[in-house]
Structure 1
Amino acid sequence: MNILLKSATIIDPQSPYHKQKMDILIEGGIISKISRTITCPAYCKEINLDDLTVSKGWFDPSVSFGEPGYEHRETIAHGIEVAAKSGFTKIGLNSNGAPLTDSKSIVNFLKTKSIGTPVDIYPIGSLTKDSSGNEIAELYDMQQAGAIAFNDYKKGIKNANLLKIALQYTQSFGGLVMSYPNNCNISGEGVVNEGVNSTNLGLKGIPTIAEEIQISRDLFLLEYTGGKLHIPTISTSKSVALIKEAKAKGLKVTCSVSADHLTLTDDELSNFDGNFKITPPLRTQSDINSLIDGLKNGTIDFITSDHDPIDIENKKIEFSLAQDGSIGLESLFVSLHKILGLDLFIEKITISPQEVFGLESPIIQQGEKANLSLFSTKGSRIFTSDDILSTSKNSAYLGKKTTGKVYGTYHNGILTLA
């Protein structure tokens, strides 16, 4: 589809049009012209949207759908539609289906699912077979098929020697190892952050040291082996400090944080709402402050929605039995951009995550492929069930005040509007 975006403020620090309000003409999927005023040719569709702002297409490297195996939670086809309408043109798809993504055939299956759609899928393969933590999976074969990293999703690696071998082995082909920061022996049967709220509510707590001691171990291993290590969704002040120190040493370590852990605290738990049962658990305002500082100073590389659809049968039950996870694609921008500031938000959802995973995105300029997210920073509203596009409705942001609006995306020659 050939389109003309009228009066769009461009946010792309790599573009010569950064922070300028311009018309953008897209023909055959390519940005053919950027100018103050462009008259729409007869063969194109003119798009006029209030306070239209465009950036490079957003990339969320931690997204889960239900398919394969849990299609009642979310199919890949519908998940792609949700992602596009929420502003994302690329997603990293976690290995938590049935079967898990632990072979090149599953990677190929997932890659095929995004052909001809407005969202590119980049599978994340399991680090170990069946994500059991016992035997390293077919890492090289999966990378050749298109996997961008390897991670046993939401499972801490118990076997230190296995992680050591994985870090050594992946150096031969430039693979990226991910290690979820949780020592399960310490977290045990905990369901929320250990602190005043867990005590008052009578819920088993997960101490911050369960995360921090795992990160410390993994950083020692990385210092010994070399290689590349990514630590997903950190949540504590001490975790930020540990990774900052490791980066200062020159270790090739990166990390991320979820929107939930930048905006919500364990004060939300007072009503025992299963939508707030998230892993890592929601922490404190002090932790949030440290995480935001970590984003600003470059310790934390990028943000993610950590989108995880869970069916109502596994959420609307006793809090301690509810399954962990919250959807987040629809709420990420409107809940977070005002807190971080638009420039930092765009950097941490476009440039930074693509650098971590070795991906590229075209600059917003003439002659480049159009890969764009469309949104507005103005207006505020209460986030309700009407704002949820996902099949599963387990959102931690229901009833929260949000700012701005996502209009959609243009990618792979497809315009998607919410």
Structure 2
Amino acid sequence: MKNVILKQATIIDSESSFHNQKMDISIENGIITSIEKSAKNTQNFEEILLNNLHVSQGWFDSSVSFGEPGFEDRETIANGLYVAAKSGFTDVALQPNTYPILDNQSAISFVKNKANGFATNLHPIGALTKNSDGEDLAELFDMKNAGAIAFGDYNKSIENANIQKIALQYVQDFEGLVISFCQDKSLKGNGVVNEGVVSTQLGLKGIPAMAEEIDLIRNLSILEYTGGKMHIPTLSTAKSVQIIAAAKKKGLNVTCSVSVHHLTLNEKVLEGFDSRYKVAPPLQTESNRLALIKGITDGTIDMITSDHNPIDIEHKKLEFDLAKNGTIGLETAFGMLQNVLSTEIIVDKLVNGKTIFGLEKNSIKVGNKAILTMFNPNQTLTVTKENILSKSKNSAFLGQTLKGIVYGIYNNGKVEL
């Protein structure tokens, strides 16, 4: 256990009585022991003094892919957790899109064991269906017992409405959370970008916005019938935000997230046919991007994810049609978000998702466990391949200016700076 004093740290935590105050935070054996204007270091703790240091509750990312097992060339669990810590995330939810798919108890146990001893906690998401093929439910209860925090097939909608219905009914016995990616397969067809003016100009096959919206309406109708808890990941259209708002007003137990790239980029970046911008769901129009920001600020959208998805160069640096979907995003999440949202809103949306996924959430006060993110909201940095820590370099944010940098975290009694 690392005993430290965080010197002159501005606390960003709306649940803390020290919100927006510059204080010294003493941490002993992983517990916050004092918060005061100037702490006396009588026990020779390590002092951490960083330029314009800001501290918040530890951040949570509800959607990361690491590759291991099966795709270690894209990212290993060890390097992925190191990157997450350096990016400010004390907790990450690991998607099941490995090889083999995380669809059983032993697979969940494997990744949990691999993640032992790191500053960042890894929480596996179990596949909803066997091999994520949408046909038969996976071993949901067994995976829950092994440590899975939710169930979903990454970037795949469940075509069979009855499977969706049975899953929502089944998980209620143990308060499970079903993640439902929304994109009607028949409407998507062979589309690779948003259907509209840009897709027509580029001669690329489009995916209509209603592919997401129709599937979302269907899934919420099933939720209304069955009850249970549903999380909708990576919303991308204005109408989807309206549909979620209406569902919440009805009293449905639904939450949703939006990705950093959908909040900060629009489909105009596709004009160079750069496959780094090929993501699922596709980047949208500027009016949809602005609607997502409004959905964040008015509280309709519950949380923000990096949707970090490392892809090896052999599958990414291809013709746009053939390239795999996905961008890395952990390292650039905070700095990109600061270009479009306030620091307090960003922190709020990166922390509050813990409650939705049943994770520990501790405000910054004496006696609480120290689960902290350290950052400087004012320093700028330009994203280059050289400063990317992920094994894969498929970042949609290369060349972008980040407004704000992350120093690291204090979690599990460890400092990662």
Structure 1 match to 2:174: 173
- Aligned equivalents of 1:27 and 1:360: distance in 2? 19
Q: Displacement, 1:324?
A: 0.4
Correspondence 1:165-244 to 2 at 5 A: 165-244=166-245
**Matched letter for residue 163 of structure 1:** Q
Distance (whole Å) between structure 2 residues aligned to residue 212 and residue 158 of structure 1:
14
Residues 12-60 of structure 1, C-alpha deviation per residue, up to 9 Å, x if partnerless? 1111111110001111111111100013345321111110000011000
**What residue identity is the alignment partner of 1:324?**
N
Shift of 1:295: 1.1
- Write the mapping of 1:243-392 to structure 2, written as runs, cut at 5 A: 243-351=244-352, 353-392=353-392
Is the 2:338–2:402 contact (alpha carbons within 8 Å) kept by the matching residues of 1? no
Please name the residue that 1:404 is paired with: 404
> Aligned-pair distance for 1:171?
1.1
Q: Secondary structure at the match of 1:199?
A: helix
- Cα separation, 1, equivalents of 2:126 and 2:10: 37
Q: What TM-score, normalized to structure 1?
A: 0.98
SS at match of 1:14: coil
Look up the SS of the partner of 2:33 in the other structure.
Answer: strand
The letter for the 1-side match of 2:210 is I
Give the partner amino acid of 1:263.
T
Residue aligned with 1:212, SS: helix
Q: Which amino acid aligns with 1:213?
A: I
Q: Give me the whole-angstrom Cα distance separating, in 2, the residues matched to 1:230 and 1:363.
A: 24
Q: Work out whether residues 381 and 405 of structure 2, in 8 Å CA contact, stay in contact via their aligned partners in 1.
A: no
Consecutive unaligned residues in structure 2, runs of 5 or more? none
Partner of 1:94: 95
Q: Please, what is the CA RMSD of the aligned residues?
A: 0.9
Percent sequence identity over aligned pairs: 54
C-alpha contact (below 8 Å) 2:93/2:124 kept by paired residues: yes
- Letter of the 1:162 counterpart: I
- Deviation >4 Å, runs of 4+: none
Per the alignment, residue 119 of structure 1 pairs with 120
Q: How does 1:36-185 map to 2 (within 5 A)?
A: 36-185=37-186
For 2:338, what is the secondary structure of its paired residue? Answer: helix
How far the C-alpha of 1:72 sits from its partner, in A, is 0.5
Q: Secondary structure at the match of 1:324?
A: coil
Which deviates more, 293-302 or 64-73?
A: 293-302
Shift of 1:384: 1.4
Q: Distance in 1 between matches of 2:262 and 2:308?
A: 13
1:20 aligns with 2:21: yes
Q: Please give the secondary structure, in 2, of the residue aligned with 1:171.
A: helix
Post-superposition Cα deviations, 1:99-147, rounded to whole Å, max 9, x if no partner, equal 1110111111111122211011110000000001000011111111111
Q: CA deviation at 1:386?
A: 2.6
Partner of 2:415: 415
2: CA distance between counterparts of 1:93 and 1:231? 16
Cα deviation, residue 294, structure 1 = 0.9
Partners of 2:341 and 2:107 in 1: how far apart? 36
The DSSP-based 3-state class of the residue aligned with 2:402 is strand
Partners of 1:42 and 1:137 in 2: how far apart? 52
Do the aligned residues in 2 keep the contact of 1:330 with 1:387 (CA within 8 Å)? Answer: no
The residue identity in structure 1 corresponding to 2:363 is: I
Q: Secondary structure at the match of 2:340?
A: helix
1:60-85 per-residue CA deviation (whole Å, 9 max, x = no partner) reads 01000010000011000011100000
Aligned counterparts of 1:275 and 1:196: Cα–Cα separation in 2? 20
**Residues in 1 aligned to 2:29 and 2:297: alpha-carbon distance in whole angstroms:** 38
Q: Read off the aligned partner of 1:342 and give its amino acid letter.
A: T
Deviations 1:145-191 (A, max 9, x none): 11111000000110001101111111111111111110111101100
Please say if residues 355 and 361 of structure 2, whose CA atoms lie closer than 8 Å, have aligned partners that are also in contact.
no
CA distance, structure 2, for counterparts of residue 346 and residue 81 of structure 1:
20
What is the aligned residue count? 416
**SS at structure 2 position matched to 1:286:** helix
Please give the alpha-carbon distance, in whole angstroms, between the structure 2 residues aligned to 1:38 and 1:386: 38
TM-score between the two structures when normalised by the length of structure 2: 0.98
Q: Which residue identity does 2:130 align to in structure 1?
A: K
Paired letter, 1:400: Q
Q: Which secondary structure state, in structure 1, belongs to the residue aligned with residue 324 of structure 2?
A: coil
Cα deviation digits, residues 301-356 of structure 1 (max 9, x gap): 100000000011111111110110000000000000341111111110002x0121
Letter in 1 for 2:367: G
AA aligned opposite 1:344: I
Distance 2:379 2:411 in 1: 26
Unpaired runs of 5+ residues, structure 1, are none
In the alignment, the residues of structure 2 paired with residue 362 and residue 248 of structure 1 have an alpha-carbon distance, to the nearest angstrom, of: 29
1:27 & 1:293 partners in 2: Cα distance? 41
* Alignment partners' CA distance in 2, 1:317 and 1:217: 34
Deviation of 1:260 (Å): 0.4
Look up the equivalent residue of 2:281 and give its one-letter code.
Answer: P
Structure 2 counterpart of 1:319, one-letter code? F
